Amino acid sequence: MHNKNFTFLIQASPLLGDNFLFLWAFQLRILSQH
């Protein structure tokens, strides 16, 4: 279900840099709550 968003984050990681790590960890927290 979340594969599309996860793939997008991976592809955008070079552009986001450190922000990617923050967004990735933030999304992991959200996914772990469901």
CA dihedral for 18, 24, 25, 26, sign (positive or negative): positive
pLDDT at 13: 62
Number of domains in the chain: 1
- For residues 25 and 19, give the distance between their C-alpha atoms in angstroms, rounded to a whole number: 10
Q: Which domain holds residue 13?
A: 3-33
Question: Cβ distance 9 to 27 under 8 Å?
Answer: yes
What does pTM read for this prediction? Answer: 0.37
Q: Could you tell me if 25 and 10 are in contact, meaning their C-beta atoms sit under 8 angstroms apart?
A: no
- What's the pLDDT tens digit per position in 1-34? 567 777 776 676 666 667 777 888 888 888 888 6
